[in-house]
C-alpha cells in the first residue's frame, strides 16, 4: 500500500542478539533506500510466521493498522505477491510498531526518515546504487552531471597533491581516509540525486496547469457540491484521449479520466499526457471485469495491479476508483475502505456507449439539471464531437467544471 508516495517492501527479517530488524526497502521521494528497521520481538515473530523469504514472493507492508477490541489486539497486513497473484495476510503487532508506522508515514524527506531512532542504514560496502534510483527528470540531470565532475575532480586533486609532497603514508591511514572519502562521496551523491530529483519534480508540478477540484470525502460518491459539475471519461486510454484533453484545455475546464490497467500499460505516454496537463486520473480495473463476480482476493489483486500501473506512470498516488458498470458490493466497499481510496460513481448517465451519437449526447446534457452532478461519459469520437457544445452549455448555466480528487 502506498501512502504519501511511500512504499514499504519487506526484504528480510533479521535477529541480531536480542534485537529484531525488518530489512526494508523504503520507496519514497523519488528514491529507493534500504534500511534496517528495529522492531519489537512480539511484532517480528508474528511477521516471521507469515513470510518465507526463500521463494519468489515479494512482501509489502501496509501503513494501515486496526484494533480488534474483542481480542484486545492491534493488527496490520502484509501483501504477499508473486507475478500477478497477491494475497493480503493479517498479522498481530504492537502499539510500538503502530507508532513507528505513523512516524515513517509522516516523514517529509529521506533525511527525516534517517533521523528516526529505530531506522538504521545496513553496514555494507559504501556505493551509490544508481540502478536503485528512480529515473530523474531531464531538468535535474545536468546539475548532477556537473556536481559529479566537481566531486571527482576534488578527489584527483587530493591524491595528486599527496603524490607531489612525496611523503610516505601508512597504509592503514590511507585505507581509513579512502573509506572516509567513500562515505562522504556517497552521502554527497545521494544528496545531489535527491535534491536534483525533487527540484526537477517540483518544477514539473509547478508548470502543470491548475484546475479547480472537488475532493471526494465519502466512501462512495455519486455527486458533488452545488454550482460545480464534473465531466468524467471512462475506458481509456484510447485514440480519443488526447483530443478530449485538448478540448478541455481549450476551454480551461477540469476533467477526470478513469483508465483501464491493461490499456494504460500499452499506452503510458497517453496516461502521462493527461496527468501532465493537470487532469485527474482514477482506476477503472485491469480488464473492465464486473467486480461483483469476483471474490475479495480477486478484487484486491485487480485494484492493486491497476493502481500500481497508473502510479508507476504518473508518480503520484491514485486514490479514485470507478468499478466497471458501477457494480459495487460489500466486498468492494470493504476493500476500497481498507486501502483508503474512494469510489466514484455518477448521478447523470449520458448513455453515450449505447448511442455513439453526438447530438443525442448533447440533447441529454441540455435536458438535465447538471448542478452538483458527476456526468458519465466514455471515450469515443461522438464524445469528442459533442464536448465543445457540452462545455459551453454548462458554462452558460454558471457551473464550474472541476477535477475530482
d(CA 68, CA 46): 16
d(CA 291, CA 386): 30
228-236 and 374-378 strand pairing: parallel
Q: Are 250 and 209 in contact (CB under 8 A)?
A: no
Active site residues: 234, 378
Largest CA-CA distance found in the chain, in angstroms, rounded: 91
- Taking residue 320's Cβ as centre, other Cβ atoms within 10 Å add up to 22
* All three cell numbers of 138: 531531464
Q: Are 212 and 254 in contact (CB under 8 A)?
A: yes
The DSSP secondary-structure symbol of 295 reads -
Instruction: Give the closest residue to 241 by CA, choosing from 381, 348, 401, 389.
Output: 381
d(CA 186, CA 209): 36
Q: Are 295 and 331 in contact (CB under 8 A)?
A: yes
Q: 15-22 long-range CB contacts below 8 Å, 24 or more apart?
A: 15/44, 20/44, 20/45, 21/120, 22/47, 22/61
> How far apart, in Å, are the Cα atoms of 18 and each of 15, 41, 44, 194, 288?
7, 8, 12, 34, 50
The DSSP secondary-structure symbol of 134 reads P
Q: Are 139 and 203 in contact (CB under 8 A)?
A: yes
Coil vs helix vs strand at 117: coil
**Angle at Cα 114 formed by Cα 153 and Cα 145, nearest 5°?**
25
Q: How many CA atoms lie within 13 A of 200 on its CB side?
A: 18
Identify whether 237 is preceded by a cis peptide bond (ω within 30 of 0): yes
Task: Give the phi and the psi of residue 172 in degrees, each rounded to 5.
Answer: -65, -40
Amino acid at each position: 500500500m502506498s501512502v504519501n508516495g511511500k512504499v514499504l517492501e519487506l526484504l528480510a527479517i533479521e535477529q541480531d542478539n536480542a534485537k529484531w530488524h525488518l530489512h526494508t526497502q523504503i520507496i519514497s521521494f523519488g528514491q529507493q533506500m534500504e534500511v534496517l528497521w528495529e522492531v519489537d520481538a512480539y511484532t517480528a515473530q508474528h511477521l516471521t510466521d507469515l513470510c518465507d523469504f526463500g521463494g519468489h514472493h515479494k512482501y509489502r507492508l501496509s501503513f494501515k493498522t486496526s484494533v480488534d477490541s474483542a481480542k484486545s489486539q492491534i493488527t496490520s497486513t502484509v501483501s504477499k505477491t508473486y507475478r500477478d497473484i497477491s494475497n493480503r495476510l493479517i498479522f498481530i503487532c504492537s502499539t510500538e510498531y503502530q507508532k513507528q508506522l505513523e512516524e515513517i508515514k509522516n516523514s517529509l524527506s529521506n533525511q527525516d526518515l534517517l533521523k528516526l531512532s529505530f531506522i538504521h542504514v545496513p553496514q555494507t560496502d559504501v556505493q551509490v546504487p544508481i540502478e536503485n534510483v528512480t529515473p530523474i527528470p531531464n531538468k535535474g540531470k545536468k546539475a548532477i552531471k556537473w556536481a559529479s565532475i566537481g566531486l571527482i575532480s576534488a578527489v584527483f586533486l587530493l591524491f595528486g597533491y599527496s603524490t607531489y609532497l612525496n611523503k610516505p603514508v601508512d597504509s592503514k591511514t590511507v585505507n581509513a581516509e579512502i573509506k572516509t572519502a567513500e562515505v562522504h562521496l556517497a552521502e554527497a551523491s545521494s544528496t545531489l540525486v535527491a535534491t536534483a530529483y525533487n527540484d526537477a519534480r517540483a518544477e514539473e508540478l509547478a508548470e502543470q496547469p491548475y484546475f479547480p477540484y472537488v475532493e471526494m470525502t465519502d466512501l462512495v460518491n455519486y455527486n458533488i457540491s452545488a454550482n460545480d459539475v464534473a465531466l468524467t471519461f471512462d475506458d481509456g486510454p484510447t485514440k480519443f484521449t488526447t483530443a478530449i484533453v485538448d478540448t478541455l484545455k481549450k476551454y480551461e475546464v477540469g476533467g477526470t479520466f478513469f483508465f483501464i490497467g491493461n490499456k494504460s500499460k500499452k499506452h503510458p505516454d497517453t496516461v502521462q499526457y493527461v496527468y501532465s496537463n493537470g487532469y485527474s486520473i482514477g482506476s477503472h480495473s485491469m480488464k473492465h471485469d464486473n467486480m461483483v463476480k469476483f471474490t475479495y482476493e480477486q478484487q484486491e489483486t485487480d485494484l492493486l495491479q491497476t493502481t500500481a500501473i497508473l502510479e508507476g506512470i504518473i508518480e503520484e498516488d491514485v486514490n479514485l476508483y470507478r468499478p466497471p458498470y458501477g457494480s459495487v458490493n460489500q466486498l468492494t466497499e470493504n476493500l476500497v475502505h481498507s486501502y483508503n481510496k474512494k469510489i466514484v460513481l455518477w448521478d447523470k448517465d449520458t448513455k453515450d456507449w449505447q448511442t455513439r451519437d453526438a447530438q443525442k449526447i448533447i440533447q441529454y446534457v441540455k435536458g438535465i439539471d447538471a448542478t452538483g452532478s458527476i456526468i458519465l461519459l466514455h471515450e469515443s469520437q461522438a464524445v469528442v464531437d459533442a464536448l465543445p457544445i457540452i462545455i459551453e452549455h454548462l458554462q452558460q448555466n454558471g457551473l464550474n467544471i472541476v477535477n475530482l480528487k
